[in-house]
Structure 1
């Protein structure tokens, strides 16, 4: 186990020793500050509800966090092949499975760090500018299963659902990076999945076919359940169903990643 965490530490060093990583973290810090201060100055309204603005900023920043993690994920494996450093890893006394797992764990830790930074900054800047309140305002719909719970509980579940969507998109990018050794392909298709998946699913629902609800795109937006809605209103879907579907896709993505990487001929 100690050797495995040494591998994870090695992957963390690769991530955090790069200037672009700190630029990404800087953007995550800067965006909420600019949005809160800018909107306050433009609207000249300092009496808004901090949680409502925090929720809006969270959606925006989490899209950036997903993109940033996808970029790191896409180059995690493909970058090793293109730079030729993969051979240096494989000649060491570690199994291929351990090497790939360490890369994946490092990515998840990076995404968690970004999520924590996002929460801390969006909460702090909005509490500072708009004033702290325990009143959720209109952020928790009456139809929400979280109605009656504290705003802290609601935001905690909201972040969890956003993070699960991130994990799925990043796992998809990681699979493409491992299978095709192309960071460009992994980044492009993953970002397409993130932004165009919902639109494609919406178009497919016009066919009124039951199989549409089994598509990955249809189950990514878990936050819709938090608001008392369904990702596809005309389909019989529940939170449990979507979580099962995401688990199936998660297993498939990682099974492909591990299978291809373990059998890859590095010399080819």
Structure 2
């Protein structure tokens, strides 16, 4: 165990001693600041939200009188009316008017974190062959399995650091822009009985981040596998980034077919279940988790077999 921890520490040193790593971290903070500032443009800190909420309630009540309106729409409108009325009664501004709205929106920037981590993951194994240091690495008493695991662990630790930077910088920047007075604002949700319940806003935001984190782990694992296949760092990074961005386009094309739901990128975004709108009929949270586990195990097996059989002398 101590030897494995030393290997992970060694891989972390390789990551953080490079200028590229620090540039990616600073760039992430700059992107967070720019995104928050652009979202704040046009924001007016006043009580207009109360007027908008009252008008929305009246509009939805009139819509409910329409007999041709589907029952699912009526149920959604009733929940919206209950939430807005509760917010008015307790003087709770909508989340988009507070720092929490900006922090939750920053969860979309996990795509940037994924991109930056892919750059590191694509270089983890292939870089050893590019620089010719793989022979020095393998003459150590540690097994190839431990060496491969230490590289993957270091990659995930780098992703965790970037996620922490993203969350903290989003909290600070949006707190400055919107103020910290609503930091204790609860998250409102309508229960099955129709009553409005107050829940932790922090846990709700972290759940959003957590669901998007699944996509990061799968894409990084894919990039890590590609890095073990190719000896060229540039090819491994380029191919990984291409698959990352092309995956969503391919998903939209494949969803026209019933078997498209088994495609990896059709299941990586678990927020579709948080919002209650799966990409295809028959897809559930359990189904997507099973598909993701299959791909995760497949990528692990391929990475291990390719790295184990790799002829270092070639």
TM-score, normalisation: structure 1: 0.89
The answer to whether the Cα contact below 8 Å between 1:36 and 1:53 also exists between their aligned partners in 2 is: yes
The answer for the alignment partner of 2:236 in structure 1 is: 186
Mapped to 2, the partners of 1:131 and 1:142 lie a distance apart of: 30
Aligned to 1:258: 304
Gaps of 5+ in 2: 47-96
* Cα deviation 1:17-50 (Å, max 9, x = unaligned): 001111111112222222323443x425356322
- Post-superposition, which runs of at least 4 consecutive aligned residues in structure 1 deviate over 6 A? 140-143
- Residue 137 of structure 1: how far off its partner (Å): 7.7
Using structure 2 for the length normalisation, give the TM-score. Answer: 0.76
Give the distance between the partners of 1:182 and 1:211, measured in 2 at CA.
34
Label 1:137 to 1:37 Cα distance change in 2 as closer, same or farther (>3 A): farther
Structure 1 position 237, deviation (Å): 0.7
Of 81, 86, 89 in structure 1, the residue corresponding to residue 134 of structure 2 is 86
**Which residue does the alignment assign to 2:13?**
13
Residue of structure 1 in register with 2:217 after alignment: 167
| Structure 1 residues 114-149: Cα deviation after superposition (integer angstroms, max 9, x where no partner) | 1111111101211222023233689x8999xxx853
SS at match of 1:43: coil
* In the alignment, structure 1 residue 116 sits paired with structure 2 residue 164: yes
Partner Cα distance (1:149, 1:44) in 2: 26
CA–CA distance in structure 2, aligned partners of residues 118 and 170 of structure 1: 17
Quick check: 1:154 aligned with 2:153? no
1:50 aligns with one of 80, 99, 104? 99
Q: Unaligned stretches of 5+ in structure 1?
A: none
Residues 1:97 and 2:96 aligned together: no
Contact preservation (8 Å) 2:226, 2:236:
yes
Question: Aligned partners of 1:57 and 1:238: how far apart in 2?
Answer: 26
Write the distance in 2 (CA, Å) between the matches of 1:176 and 1:39.
Answer: 36
Please state whether the residue corresponding to 2:124 is helix, strand or coil: helix
Aligned counterpart, 2:74: none
What is the alpha-carbon distance in structure 2 between the residues aligned to residue 188 and residue 111 of structure 1? 19
Q: Contact conserved, 1:70 with 1:173, CA < 8 A, in 2?
A: yes
Counterparts of 2:37 and 2:252, CA distance in 1: 35
Task: Number of aligned residue pairs: give it.
Answer: 258
- Counterpart residue number, 1:4: 4
Q: For 2:271, which of 182, 207, 223 is the aligned residue? A: 223
How far did 1:244 drift? 1.2
